[in-house]
Structure 1
């Protein structure tokens, strides 16, 4: 069964202006590399459209959703913070990205696809219920998780976020719930935006214990990430026994990324993906959807995504390396 792809040239219309790191060229670089390596033809492109606003409002307040659309329609240069740059099309493009995420999870739930990768922008994991942060307008991975529970009746959805920046929005949206396990591996928040995601943040009230933050020191590479994955993340996932696995797939922990201080390699991202996919095979009947978040060095982003997609598409998802600490080489 094939791996699905969410991609549209319309995502390029979200114009963040000159010099902004979250730029249309990110998706062009990914698309071109997937094509050059013969991976694009191996993927199943999915037709999709705008998400109904009621699905956005599963995690965002109606007032916030309306405020995002109004700001874009008015031609405001940004919303809430200067890094959340907007243009007149931005709200609709973010709504389209949410629609892509929903389409992907529907296709995987229907058994039409084994898993899917969503190559879309703007990213989403920093967006709070009523606040835009860190380039993000709508929180697509949170919308997908809430949709799986509301529309498909799932009781246990897991989100693993390996973007180098903590997924503050996703954590806060689910931190009082026990039906969504949120796990984030990121650079130590004492040294990086947004300053949240400390190990002691484990959830609140009914959600206590359903948030796992794994902050990692600057200059962490493949060996540190894979050791953290195997010692902390995988046991938590095993205990939760998810019915569906969502990935906030950020590739800005790369050694060449300009916005962080980590040393991950493209092959390291591939192995990380391979081991997370094995969890989905064991617990979720393979059901996994990956959504693009960060990654701002174009060449390294495209290379890392290719390794990620190849790991999603491999025939033998259980072909994981022995659980040993080894620094991977490009």
Structure 2
């Protein structure tokens, strides 16, 4: 059974009116997922300092704690805000990714983590792009250091480059980090020349206004061969749905069928190399209807694979 990992704390991370990364994202997603009654739902625990310190230094955790406002909201950078309960929400988001790894490695199958704030832009000592903590990087290091895996692959199909995940895992030769993303686009990183300290990073820029066919060719020609050569023991997905044509923050033109195709193809690779073990973690997606439809279709594919 596919595991859905959530936590009510996601509803307590408050951002300014009109901010794209808002509480309504989780509300819309959870409404869309509600009819999928065969999901095994569990609550995300809070990540411990020990888990977070595998990718972030103590100074980053201290800075986040010091930045918590007693009331209202505080601006950390151009795009990222904190309310009194934001760090709690971020700890549960990272903890949900860890719990997904634990569950999938113990029981097989797959899991989807529906929490916020997202994490793939958070660098070692820098909040950025709505992100406070590097959720998928924390999960990958947990799989390596706690469970003893030797090869973990991360595929980030969010429309924005996963600069934070890349920064956090740049020196980690046991992780293959792959990011497909629109380029040029904020944050301006993610060039093919950015390869990681051990050749463990693969960036696949996609041109603005390109569609799902361009994405499919890029994955078939570049991403899938790299995954097959790496032969991961666990596949983690940074599942951003803002490459959808209706998303307001970028200019890729994927549709729901493209997300279905990509999820199926990634599950095929997971079945060949890592016993079908997939952990998918929510990142972006800012048009509420597009997010709900594409993410629900993504989860349905995960469910279908569990039934095979």
When the two structures are superposed, what TM-score results if normalisation uses the length of structure 2?
0.97
For 2:228 and 2:273, how far apart are their aligned partners in 1? 8
Identify unmatched segments of 5+ residues in structure 1: 319-330
1:266 maps to 2:256: yes
For residue 96 of structure 1, the aligned residue among 89, 92, 99 is 92
Structure 2 residue 220 is the aligned partner of structure 1 residue 221: no
Q: Is the 8 A contact 2:122 2:132 kept in 1?
A: yes
CA contact (8 A) 2:14 2:73 kept: no
Q: Secondary structure, in 3 states, of the residue corresponding to 1:158?
A: strand
Offset, 1:316: 7.5
1:4 aligns with 2:3: yes
Deviations 1:273-295 (A, max 9, x none): 11001111110111110000000
Is 1:155 matched with 2:154? no
Aligned partners of 1:79 and 1:132 also within 8 Å? no
Between the aligned partners of 1:60 and 1:82, the Cα distance in structure 2 is 21
Query: May I ask how many residue pairs the two structures share in their alignment?
Result: 308
C-alpha contact (below 8 Å) 1:253/1:263 kept by paired residues: yes
SS at match of 1:200: coil
Q: 2:33 maps to which residue?
A: 34
2:284 maps to 294
In the superposition, the TM-score normalised over structure 1's length comes to: 0.90
Segments of 5+ residues of structure 2 without an aligned counterpart are none
SS of 2:250's equivalent in the other structure is coil
Shift of 1:109: 0.6
The alpha-carbon deviation at position 79 of structure 1 amounts to: 5.1
State the match for 1:69 in structure 2: 65
Instruction: Work out which of the residue numbers 199, 218, 223 in structure 1 matches 2:192.
Output: 199
CA contact under 8 A between 2:6 and 2:44: conserved in structure 1? no
Change (3 A) 1:269 1:240: same
The answer for the alignment partner of 1:245 in structure 2 is: 235
Residue 175 of structure 1, aligned match among 142, 164, 170: 170
Q: CA–CA distance in 1 between the matches of 2:305 and 2:162?
A: 31
- Give the C-alpha shift of residue 314 in structure 1: 0.8
**Aligned 8 A contact 1:161 1:248 in 2:** yes
DSSP 3-state at the match of 2:68: helix
SS in structure 2 at match of 1:274? helix
> What's the CA shift for 1:226?
1.1
2:111 and 2:52 mapped to 1: Cα distance?
21
Q: List structure 1 runs of 4+ shifted beyond 3 angstroms.
A: 73-80, 315-318
CA contact (8 A) 1:277 1:317 kept: no
Tell me by how many angstroms 1:317 deviates: 8.6
In 2 relative to 1, CA 79–62 (structure 1 residues): closer, same or farther, beyond 3 Å?
farther
- In 2, Cα distance between equivalents of 1:296 and 1:47: 24
Query: What's the CA shift for 1:75?
Result: 5.0
How far did residue 33 of structure 1 move?
1.3
Q: CA deviation at 1:73?
A: 4.5
Counterpart-to-counterpart distance in 2, 1:239 and 1:76? 49
Query: What's the offset of the Cα at 1:99?
Result: 1.1
User: What is the alpha-carbon distance in structure 1 between the residues aligned to residue 179 and residue 261 of structure 2?
Assistant: 17
Query: Which residue in 2 is equivalent to 1:230?
Result: 220
Q: CA deviation at 1:221?
A: 1.2
**1:72 Cα shift?**
0.9
User: Alpha-carbon deviation of 1:7?
Assistant: 1.5
Contact 2:7–2:44 (Cα < 8 Å) also in 1:
no
